[in-house]
Amino acid sequence: MEKCYGWMLLLWLTNFSGSVLGQTDTIADQKIQEVVVIAKLPPVEMKPGKMTYHVDATITQSQGSLFDVLSSLPGVILQSDGSVYLNGKTGANIMMDSKLTYLSGHDLVSFLKATPAGMIDKIDLISYPSTRYDASGNAGIIDIRTKKIMRKGMNLSLNGSYEQWRYGTGFGTASLNMRTNKFNFYLSYSYFQSRTRHKFIANRNIFPPSWQEQEAIRIEQDSYRFRRNCSNYYRVGVDYQISDKTIIGFSTNGNLWNDLELGDVSSLVASPKTEWKSPLRTLNNTHRSRNNFTAVLSLTHTFNPDGGTLDASADCLRYRFREDQLLHSKDTLRGIMNGSIHLYSGQANLVWPFSKTFTLRTGVKTTFVSIGNGADNNRLQGSLWNPAREISNDFKYDENINAAYTQLDVNLASFQIEAGLRMENTQIEGMQSGSSSQRDSTFKNQYLHLFPTLSLQYRLRNGNSFVLTYGKRIIRPNYRDLNPFIYIFDDYTYEQGNTMLQPELTDNVELAYIHKDLFRVGLQFSYTRDAIIKSYLDKGSYRVYVTPENLSSHLSVGTQISTSQLSITSFWDLNLSASFTYNRYRLPDNYQTDVNKRLTASTNLSNQFSLSKNWSVELSGFYNGKMAMGQAIISPLWQVNAGIQKKIWNGKGTIQLFARDVFHSNVSKISIQAPNLLGHIKEWQDNAVIGISVSYRLNRGLEVKESHRKNSINESKRINL
């Protein structure tokens, strides 16, 4: 059915182009031609502390989902559990339009896979954020900018794509914008539907304290998970210019998301004195629904022509979810998990230039979060469903973060200095209702941290420069990591939060050389205290509990080289990125080894061939070497992508054919070491696809500059029920 929908959408777009889109514009073409800039959009822009990737400048990155786009960027690694790595370090925060996403874990992955790449304009990889940004995220920030049409008049953009391998996936997006001198209205909608299959094989050896291999208990698991997803996303907003100096804006966005997952896990167990037991089969039927809504009210005021500005915003986020699970195994369990999140945020930022040399930036922000969720599980006994109170609970969590910052910018002839200090005070309180196996528990915590930042840029002649940056960052435990509730994947795999988690603090330093925004080489160093990682603990009955815990330290040292738009020939452009990163995690004393360390090599290559004015071809790929991550070692993986594009409808439309993971090589392999456990996991997902995409743009009007708006609900990244 999804395949039929995808082809119907593409056929509709083609017919629409001939009947309506192909009609003569009522506004004379000459007016539009006066403002057309004939320039090729660079795929990569290099700036101090930031790399910007333009999605539409490449064929393979502009197709598929946002998850596919991020996975193809240099230095970015996304795992199926929602872990995000940037430049070899974990803990990167993902933002959309300067708003941190409200999901993490599997929910974040599902959201990224349900967001079409056609809605994305560019992606900023910010390794060293300024004090204006929240201090959360020790690896930096991935800021995803959605498309905004800045042309006066009425503007319409349509895109439909379909991709196929074992199953089909379809995307459809539409954007409408109407702008006058003082008024701007914008509307976007996207629809996503897919079917995917997920397979993994897990082998575990559980050892006695003596670590004698002949006494180990072996568990082998084969798992298949089939998912059917459907998502509707919308964004509506309006901006109004009250005067020449003041603009107010209001916007809302939301996402309605449903997915059905059917899981089948087969488990074999063998002890030292017995052969393999009969397979234990676990069937898991899960239906999830999410409904989130965000509203933002903003104001921007310009005091003088020299750039003095004040912007303020008030944000509101409401999120609801429900998960119905039916698990068949030795025990048959039926569970309902539901919850809600309310988040309110307010902030104000002032930029005041004293002169051409000195500029002051200062601001304040406050955020309130209230979370409540519950799990009601029942066990089938005979023909009756009886409460399973030992795995049922209610969890409530409240958090308040108050922040203030000041930054001074000094711009001299050859030097540019940015020095800032941010203060954040955090107050949290959590409460879990008791069960037959756990008593009521309440925990509170309060802490205040200072986060200094410093950027020194020395400009040489001909546009070259040296940049030295320093920043202190924090990662607070996300809300699911603090929830002591036990989530059951199968008979041998449980997941549980840890109320004793402490935030991790990181110091980052980088020295970089930039050559004319075409070449960049950097040396990086970071040191993290109380690093949060996933730990795998055996608590008897062959069961492994996946729970977060703090390690003593994490050290990361590396170098990165990047190039942009290297013209090999008149028709061949090359973009190259390579890095070497050394990671060392110091493990607790009860582990067999006290250090997990690895030197990791990574590279990303993109070739663009311009065959003619309307035809272009692209070949790209990446390789990530073996990497240390907490208790785990991630094996190397690589991927090759290809695409071809033709401009149609007098340049107003494009049609693209693309293929991702051509050799089906993107397979995740992870080895895990715990105090008395060795595990190996191999995971396959539907990464290899071929697809087709059709786009059309109807622009009637004049180009205008984008207004300055940076409002965000930054705390929402860590929300994860």
Model confidence pLDDT, tens digit, residues 206-222 = 877 666 666 788 889 89
Dist. CA 519–CA 512, nearest whole Å: 10
Residue 41, pLDDT score:
62
| 301-310, 491-500, 521-530, range with greatest mean pLDDT | 521-530
pLDDT at 28 > cutoff 70: no
Mean pLDDT, residues 442-471? 92
Residue 48, pLDDT score:
78
Mean pLDDT over the full length of the chain: 83
Contact, 554 vs 585, CB < 8 A? yes
Dist. CA 120–CA 62, nearest whole Å: 8
Name the pLDDT band for 450 (thresholds 50, 70, 90).
very high
**618 Cβ partners below 8 Å, 6+ apart?**
58, 59, 60, 606, 607, 608, 609, 641, 642, 643, 644, 645
Using CA of residue 599, residue 600, residue 603, residue 604, what is the dihedral sign? negative
- Written as one letter, the residue type at 288 is R
- Percentage above 90 pLDDT, the chain: 35
Dist. CA 713–CA 503, nearest whole Å: 20
pTM: 0.84
Dist. CA 175–CA 233, nearest whole Å: 12
pLDDT at 707 > cutoff 80: no
3-state secondary structure (DSSP) of residue 642: strand
* Sheet containing strand 532-538, strands side by side: 486-490, 493-496, 544-550, 532-538
CA distances from 347 to 64, 299, 387, 444, 522 (A): 35, 11, 45, 25, 34
- Written as one letter, the residue type at 258 is N
Residue 27, pLDDT score:
36
What is the rounded radius of gyration, in angstroms, for the C-alpha atoms of the chain? 26
pLDDT at 23 > cutoff 50: no
Mean pLDDT, residues 66-86? 82
Whose tokens are 């008149």? That residue is 570
Burial of 429 (0-12, 13-18, 19+ CB in 10 A): middle
- Length of the chain counted residue by residue: 721
Name the pLDDT band for 19 (thresholds 50, 70, 90).
very low
Name the pLDDT band for 20 (thresholds 50, 70, 90).
very low
- Residue 611 phi, psi (nearest 5): -80, -35
Dist. CA 16–CA 653, nearest whole Å: 12
pLDDT at 449 > cutoff 90: yes
Whose tokens are 């209702």? That residue is 433
Q: Which fold has domain 2-718?
A: Maltoporin; Chain A (2.40.170)
User: What does the DSSP assignment read for 65-106?
Assistant: BHHHHHHTSTTEEE-TT--EEETTEE-PEEEETTEE-S--TH
Measure the N-to-C terminal CA separation of the chain; round to a whole number of Å: 32
In tens, the pLDDT along 120-176 reads 888 998 888 899 988 988 888 889 888 777 677 888 889 888 998 888 889 899 989
pLDDT at 630 > cutoff 70: yes
Lowest mean pLDDT among 89-103, 342-356, 389-403: 89-103
Lowest mean pLDDT among 32-36, 51-55, 625-629: 32-36
Neighbours of 94 (CB within 10 A): 26
Using CA of residue 96, residue 642, residue 139, residue 500, what is the dihedral sign? positive
- Percentage above 70 pLDDT, the chain: 88
Bridging pattern class, strands 93-96 and 141-146: parallel
Contact, 584 vs 570, CB < 8 A? no
In tens, the pLDDT along 377-409 reads 889 888 889 888 877 888 888 999 999 999 999
Residue 211, pLDDT score:
61
Mean pLDDT, residues 200-211? 80
